[in-house]
Amino acid sequence: MENQKRINSLAGEYGAENIVILLGAAEAEASGLAAETVTIGDPTYAGVLAGVELGLTVYHVLEEEFKNSVNAEIFDEQIGMMEMVLDVPSIVEEMTSVRKNCKYL
């Protein structure tokens, strides 16, 4: 809930079009829930983003868009193991589906 407050505050301060959310959850469902929260609002209606459509741009660290934007050696060192053990296609599919709600791509 604290993260939702911070994200909402930062979006207000800097403009939602200037914020990119980067997720690292291990499962597609958890990533999707977090992505929905910052795009269409908190689907659990438990946090401050309930009903708040920020439409923020959101990616997962295992998506090619992020991977290709960082140093490959550092990516492999810090995230490479995750890429080998997680269901990356499911995470990418979930994120791609939710990203249609992003207003600032």
Could you report the average pLDDT of every consecutive run of 10 residues in the chain (105 residues)?
Answer: 96 98 97 97 94 97 97 96 96 98 95
**Contact predicate 79/61, CB 8 Å:** yes
Which letter, b or e, does each residue of 16-52 get, where b requires 16 or more Cβ atoms within 10 Å of its Cβ?
beebebebebeebeebbbbbbbbbbbbeeeebbbeeb
How far is the CA of 40 from the CAs of 8, 77, 85, 86, in angstroms? 13, 33, 30, 26
- Predicted pLDDT at 2: 94
State residue 85 phi and psi, 5-degree precision: -110, -15
pLDDT in the model for residue 99: 96
Tell me, what's the pLDDT at 93? 98
d(CA 26, CA 28): 7
